[in-house]
Structure 1
Amino acid sequence: MVVCNEKCVRQIGQYLNVPVGKLSCDASGKISVTTGPNNEDKIIGFATIIAQLARASNRPQFGNDKEDEALVRQWLEYAVCYGNSSHCSQTAHKVLKELNDVLSTRVYFVGNSPTLADIVLYHVLYPVMMTLSFQEKEQYIHVSRWFNHIQQDSNLRQKNNLVIFNRTLLYS
């Protein structure tokens, strides 16, 4: 669940090499982080926290121009809206179908190189992709191609296991 997924926020912060701060969740499941020297600054909401981490990273995570940045922010909101429901099998398949259609004509979600959208969607989709059978992964061939490509970055993957897409392993 993305609304209050502390692990996801921590992994993204670690990938961006930015300290996350003190994370907490309220009764409604909304995540917040307190930062600053005296924990006086509070940022509320998954997408807002992630965007703040990306700004602090001094890496070009929002693409090449303002249009790319707007698209990245839309994908962050998509992750919040639909990633929250991805634990439900029916919703997960709907989301995977939508993402598969988007990735049928591109390598990354925004632009020609990985952006914050790819990083966040990798971490949001990881639990779903781990549970899919080989046949289900084949149904979403473009998502599977993208996911397999993205997960090869060990800094992004961190301690997550590789999701296997091939039925016959040549080496172990």
Structure 2
Amino acid sequence: METDPHLLFDQWLTNAVAEEPNDPNAMALATAGADGRPSVRMVLLKGHDPRGFVFYTNLDSRKGGELAANPHAALLFHWKSLRRQIRIEGAIEPVSPEEADAYFASRGRDSQLGAWASEQSRPLDARTTFEARYEEMRARFDGAAVPRPPRWSGFRVLPERIEFWNDRAHRLHERRLFVKDGAGWSEGLLYP
């Protein structure tokens, strides 16, 4: 059995990419504001390495505000068709401007323009208002590269706990927990 949680994550994600029918990199992101009230939403994993797990967002969004107030998060990957899930908990840090620029440049042009047009998580009076803003951005950047908006960047979840869950018959599931221990990891099993 693999004893490095990052290598095990790579194996499970590779399997999900091959087998999961939709968005194998989709993960639930749980945050909490300064008041401690939790919220959760689906986002896409856009990078991972031994430092952590990266996603991008509008910094003025609800999640951006919650992460600014309480710099901790939890992630959940659930691959129903594979009967597996991975839970990750830890502090967050912003990605570097260079990382954010590089990822933003890799996005499709419509997604780039949408990032400029959207005031993510803010009230919207009508869909036509957003569509008009999108068209304004399309005209503004016509014939030019679309730069990353200043309010758009990414976060890295720095894992402190990683749990791998395998479904088993009769709800006798297998749960392996890795906990950050200095420069390494300690490993144990949890009752289902």
Indicate the structure with greater strand content. Answer: 2
TM range (shorter): under 0.3
TM-score (norm 2): 0.24
TM-score (norm 1): 0.25
